[in-house]
Chains A and B, each alone.
Chain A
Amino acid sequence: MAVTDVYDFYQKLEDEQVILSFKGDFTSELLTSFLHILEARMVELGTDNRKKRRVFNVLTESFQNLYHHIDEFNSGDSITKRSALIIVKHVDNNFVVRTGNYVKNNDIQNLKRKLAMVNSLDSDELKGLYRMKLENDPRTDKGTAGLGLIDIARKSKSKLDYDFIDIDASSSFFCLKVVIE
């Protein structure tokens, strides 16, 4: 790799209108920094408060989904599989949050079912599902509410765009794109 390749990376981020990105291990402190940087950028961009809060919400849930799910790959797995990617873009006055992370093939069916369900519902149905699960579902074994994807769909007001890439016999790469208009 030539030292000047960094320009290609730079140009790619510029072309894609990326305002923030991170690849690596997701720590608790990182989210605070992320929100801080994003807040400053949104002030510069003149983003209104409502959209600002929606972007914060979607980013927080996306980030914490990654934070909680990365540890499904334990130290026996490669370090690569325990890191993830998050990208925030600002395109035509919309914000786009994109994430990429490894998932266990055993978990995919359940995840696909949740994604398809969320995408099949309109905003009132999402509200109903959120309330029903908030009231009745126990916490997950990670102590989370299991409401992340529903909340992302509710706050973004858009359908979730997603796909899975086969990696090996036990894992795949989960790609998620959320647009906040």
Chain B
Amino acid sequence: MEKFTIIGSPKTPTINFDGDTGVLEFTGRSIPENSVEFFTPLLDWLELYEAQPKEKTVVDMKLEYFNTSSSKCILDFFKRLERINGALSEVQVNWYFEKDDEDMAEAGEDYEAIVSLPFKIIEVEEIY
């Protein structure tokens, strides 16, 4: 399956989705004015991945910060993964936060509370 890659910008994260390894990675900040426009191609790719997911799907969220407009899109992304979790693939979300960044840790807990996917909230020295 073709890899999906977006190089980050000051307002959008770097995206590395690898359909061959099942690792989907977000790195950086996500604060575009129009988040739907940014996230639509990601969700389109995910639809292709859903047809042939790996046994394990690992999401690595390494976000520095994100705006509320992105928050809804991130939820859409997780909701999409809920559909394949279990029967088709074993999905694991790794939500990283930088030491002392309790806001980002709490943001991970927000999603963990809403989404039926296993979350690991992981403290790291530096996010990237």
Interface residues of A (CB under 8 A from B): 28, 31-32, 35-36, 48-50, 53-54, 56-57, 60-61, 64, 67-68, 127, 130-131, 134-135, 139, 143-148, 150-151, 155
Give every chain A residue within 8 A of B106 (Cβ-Cβ).
127
Q: How far is the CB of A69 from chain B (nearest CB, A)?
A: 12
Q: With contacts A57-B65, A134-B71, A134-B110 known, what are 16 further pairs, Cβ within 8 A?
A: A31-B31, A50-B100, A50-B101, A57-B103, A60-B67, A61-B67, A64-B31, A64-B67, A130-B110, A131-B114, A134-B72, A134-B75, A143-B34, A143-B35, A143-B36, A147-B71
The majority secondary structure among interface residues of chain B is: helix
Interface residues of B (CB under 8 A from A): 10-11, 31, 33-36, 64-65, 67-69, 71-72, 75, 98, 100-104, 106, 110, 113-114
The majority secondary structure among interface residues of chain A is: helix
Give every chain A residue within 8 A of B103 (Cβ-Cβ).
50, 53-54, 57, 155
Q: Does A35 contact B72, Cβ atoms closer than 8 Å?
A: no
Bound-state CA distance A123–B126 (Å) is 27
Give every chain A residue within 8 A of B67 (Cβ-Cβ).
57, 60-61, 64
Bound-state CA distance A68–B33 (Å) is 8
Q: A49 with B100: in contact, given A68-B33, A134-B71, A147-B71 (CB under 8 Å)?
A: yes
Q: Does B71 contact A53, Cβ atoms closer than 8 Å?
A: no
Q: Does A49 contact B11, Cβ atoms closer than 8 Å?
A: no
Q: A144 with B68: in contact, given A68-B33, A135-B114 (CB under 8 Å)?
A: yes
Closest Cβ neighbor of B11 among chain A residues: A32
Bound-state CA distance A64–B34 (Å) is 10
Bound-state CA distance A147–B69 (Å) is 8
Q: Does B114 contact A134, Cβ atoms closer than 8 Å?
A: yes
Of residues B31, B33, B106, which shows the largest number of chain A Cβ atoms within 10 Å of its Cβ?
Answer: B33
